[in-house]
Structures are given as structure tokens and as C-alpha cells.
Amino acid sequence: MKNKYYTFFLFLIILILIIIGFIFYRINNTINKGEQNIGMIVPENIPSYHFAIIYKDMEDSNWFFIKKGVERASKDFNVAVEFNGSYTYDEQELERYMDIAIASKVDGIVTYVWNVDKTGELINKAVEKEIPVITIGTDAEKSNRASFVGGNTYDIGAQLGELAFLSTEGKGEVVILNGNKKGSEAILQNLMILGIHDVLEQYSDININIIEYDGLSLFEIEDAITSLLDQDLKISTIICTSTKDTVILAERLIDLNKVDYNIIGYGISADLLGYIERGVVFGTVTPDLEQMGYDTIKALVDLKEKGRTSAYFNVDTFVITQENISKYLNIGEE
């Protein structure tokens, strides 16, 4: 009988410890995310200005590189930069951070455009309160934003098409994985695909197919890849239109031991660069994200000190393959 009580008592203690550990983990995780969401880059000297950045996804690999550029600009221009964003691409959360930035009367705002109309309204509200706004990555042209900083998406698509041409040697089946987007991102996505088409349609021996899916759903991406591999197509090259999809595709093909496809990627991440180095991915095209982050801060400083800035900052793009991968393997590091 004593052994039964002892066993029950021990089980109860273990259960309590597990519950306490789980609660501690949740609290710690929440605190850490909160700290990241309200993070701030502060220069060594008293900052000349206080800017705010609202970005769509703080866990997106793009943000890592953009933030590097922001950090560099913060030092060069002696400004403090507060950054906020969503971890689940929550539009209401992004809207709330924009309202907070306006209410805080920051000296300038950099924002991702999650919804052209709603973001445009908030941009106009900020400008009415004499807070200049720069859009990054996606644009709200009809708003009163002062400038847009981003890459030329059509040109990026054309460069993706050129990479696909090189990988196919001018003939074969090419598939474009198109994760359907919304709002501003849909416009950019369409421009990218148009650029791909305009290049590849010049070659009569290249056939183009598009597979569409919900780009926000991991299950949809997996299903699209499975469907693609199940089709009786003599596919030679697969073009991806997002960094996440490129990495997922590469991982899936490795798992299935089907690495004889030419994968053309978009964007940049440590995993993606590793796959290019190993020859799993043929190459990728990415805008200079670090320069993008830098230019947003430069534009705001120009507005504060000169009263004007360029309406459009078109950042350079990188084409990365095994031939030049060594130049990019340490990109973004301290």
C-alpha cells in the first residue's frame, strides 16, 4: 500500500513540475516575443531623431537582412529606430502598431503595406500630423507617402527567367510555383511572373506551366509540391517566387531523393545559400535587402534635414549561383 502512495505522490510531483515548466516556458516565450516586437536600435550618442518601422513578419528571413541595413544607417545618421511587426502576418496587429507610432509622434515611419486602402488611410493620417512615411517592399502609390524603397519586381522576374534559360539550356519544361498573394503583394507577384514569361516566351523549345496555391498555408505549399512531383511531366526546372517556398521545395526534394531538378529560387536566407553551395538549388535572385533597410532611414533623414527625398529608391539585385556563392555566404553577418 505504501508503495502505491509513494508512486502516486511521485507522479503528482512530476506532473506539477511539468505544468510549472510549461507555464514558465509560455511566459518566457511571450516576454521574449514582446521584447523583440518593441525592439529599438539606439546609437551611441543622443539620437537626432526617433523613427519607427512596421514590418509584416519579424520571423521572415528578409527582415534579418533589412534590419542589418537599418542598424548600419542608425549609426551613420545617429538616429534611434524602433521596430514592430507581426509573427503571424496579422493585419490588425500591423494596424495597431501603425496607430501607436502615430500616437507616439515619432519623427518618421517606415511601413510595409499590408492593405493598400487601409495602410494608405493610416499613412495619410500620419502625414496630416506631420509625420513623414516611407513604404518598404510593397507600396501605396495613391497615398501621401514620401517615398518607396524596393526592388524592380519585373526586372527580378526577368532575371529569374534568364536563370531558368541557363538551367534548361534553352529547352524543356519549366514550372512556376505561384503562391497566391493579396493586395500589394499580388501586384508585385504578377509583375514578377510577367517578367519570367517575357523572357522565356522568346524560346520556342521551353514550355511554361504555372501551379498556383495559397502562399500563406504551409499545407498548400506541401500539396502543390506533391502534386507537381506526381504529374507525368518531364520537368527540368522549377521556379519559386518566395524564399520560404524555395527552401521548402529544396528540403522536400532532398527527402524524396529527387535532386535532379533545377531549382530557381527567389530571395535569400542562410538555408537557401547553403543549398546553392551544395548544388541543390541552381541559383536565386534577390533584391539587396540590407540596402533597402539602409535607404529607408536615409530617406527619412533627408526629409527631416532637407525637406525632400527621392520618390523612389530602386535597390540593386543579386543573382547568386554556385559560381559566385563564396561572395554571399557571409552576407548579413556582424
Residues 171 and 144 reside in one and the same domain: no
Residue-level pLDDT at 258: 81
Verify that 174 and 136 share a domain, yes or no: no
**pTM listed for this prediction:** 0.81
Q: State which residues form the domain around 134.
A: 37-151+290-315
Q: Is residue 9 part of a domain?
A: no
Q: Give the number of C-alpha atoms closer than 13 A to the C-alpha of residue 28, restricted to the C-beta side.
A: 6
pLDDT at 100: 94
What's the CATH code of the domain at 274?
3.40.50.2300
Mean pLDDT per 10-residue interval, the chain, length 334 residues: 56 62 44 50 90 87 90 96 82 91 96 91 96 94 94 94 90 84 73 93 88 68 74 80 89 85 92 93 95 96 94 94 88 53
Within-domain flag for 276: yes
First to last CA, the chain: 63
What phi and psi values does residue 123 have, to the nearest 5 degrees?
A: -60, -45
The reply to whether 58 and 129 lie within a common domain is: yes
Q: Are residue 261 and residue 302 in the same domain, yes or no? A: no
- Do 270 and 304 fall into the same domain? no
| CA–CA gap between residue 118 and residue 66 (Å, rounded) | 24
Same domain, yes or no, for 294 and 169? Answer: no
308 and 264 within one domain: no
23 part of a folded domain: no
Within this chain, do residues 173 and 250 fall inside the same structural domain, yes or no?
yes
Same domain for 273 and 164 = yes
261 domain residue, yes or no: yes
Q: Are residues 171 and 254 in the same domain?
A: yes
For position 143, what pLDDT does the model report?
A: 94
Instruction: Choose among 200, 258, 271, 267: nearest CA to 240.
Output: 267
Residue 11 domain-assigned (yes or no)? no
Residues 118 and 169 in one domain: no
Whether 8 is covered by a domain: the verdict is no
Cβ 181 vs Cβ 143: under 8 Å: no
Evaluate whether residue 13 is within a structural domain: no
Residue-level pLDDT at 334 = 47
Report the domain count for the chain: 2
Residue 200 lies in a domain: yes
Report the relative pairing of strands 108-111 and 50-55 from DSSP bridges. parallel
What is the β-pairing status of strands 283-287 and 317-321?
antiparallel
| In a shared domain, residues 180 and 304 | no
- Cα separation, 293 vs 202, whole angstroms: 35
Residue 291: the pLDDT is 95
Burial 190-214 (b: 16+ CB within 10 A, else e): ebbbebbbebbeebeebbbeeeebe
pLDDT at position 333:
53
| Cell numbers at 101, concatenated | 507610432
Q: How far is Cα 189 from Cα 131, in angstroms, rounded to an integer?
A: 30
